[in-house]
Amino acid sequence: MKQILWGLFKKIVIADSCAKLVNPFFENYSTYPGADLIICSVLFAFQIYCDFSGYSDIAIGTARLFGFNLMRNFSFPYFSRDVAEFWRRWHISLTTWFRDYIYIPLGGSRRGLAIVIRNTFIIYLVSGFWHGARWTFIFWGLLNALYFLPLLIRKKNRKHLDIVASDRKFPNFKELLSMLTTFALITFAWIFFRATSMEEAVKVIYHCLKDLIQHPASILLLFRELYLPQIILLTIFITIEWFGRRNQYAIQSFLVNNNVALRWSMYYAIIIAIILSFGEKQDFIYFQF
């Protein structure tokens, strides 16, 4: 029930509230400042994560009520220190399927660097094509393959197998910088995933860069009242996810060792937030795939 509750919170409170800002901006990108589009690209990164991982939590939790243990599908991917770690933590059921049924039968990592690079590009291109026969998905897969390539060549793709700051409460500066860089790369790639065509994706990126170069102070739009509720919500969400990152899902043991009244206050706060967030229906993004 806790996992279902957290999944509902991620979907209804975080993902759907992000969608209300993201959708109008991407549909009319030419009429908004570039800073708005950058902010909405970040919001889309959280929308797609909370939408899909929330759905996964609901499905896994519901299955457990009936005695079925489904595999974990997300492992706090936005706390990854490189793209290789991100893909070990994102959509785990699909990535492991690609590994077992495509990557390994093609030769895996045992037939020289050239074959490994070929197999890696095939995996990412197939991943893009799996989402749909559209050039934006293909380019999104290619872009992630290019991100992965330097790690593969330098044999750094399995450097980070444990959670970040596993023995500490907070990351050090290097870890924080690595997480922010990885998040920025993934968010940039999500623009192509979100766009309906390559032309639209290129225009959105061009519009962002042009506007920021001409009006660098426009980034202060982040602090407008429009984004304030979302910033507060995401700050709370990221904090809970960070301190719950050692678990299967964030609130699995969050506050368990604390006062019972405090723990149940959190549960009721989540339920109230879900009820207050009910509004216009937002379909699950991954239901179209």
- Look up 160 and say whether it is catalytic: no
Pure H helices in 28-172 = 34-65, 83-89, 92-98, 113-131, 135-153
- Both tokens of 266, joined, read 């959190």
- Both tokens of 81, joined, read 């220190």
Looking up tokens 């899902």, which residue turns up?
249
Looking up tokens 């102070």, which residue turns up?
217
Q: Rounded distance, CA 126 to CA 214, Å? A: 39
Q: Rounded distance, CA 199 to CA 141, Å? A: 17
Question: Which of 280, 273, 228 shows the shortest CA–CA distance to 8?
Answer: 273
Instruction: Choose, from 91, 131, 160, 215, the residue flagged as catalytic.
Output: 131
Please, is 6 exposed, middle or buried when counting C-beta atoms within 10 Å of its C-beta (0-12, 13-18, 19+)?
buried
Torsion angle of C-alpha atoms 71, 132, 9, 219, degrees rounded to 10: 130
Q: Rounded distance, CA 24 to CA 44, Å? A: 12
Q: Rounded distance, CA 96 to CA 103, Å? A: 10
Q: Rounded distance, CA 271 to CA 168, Å? A: 31
- Both tokens of 101, joined, read 């049924």
Pure H helices in 164-277 = 173-194, 198-214, 228-243, 260-276
> At residue 153, what are phi and psi to the nearest 5 degrees?
-65, -40
Q: Which residues are catalytic, by number? A: 131
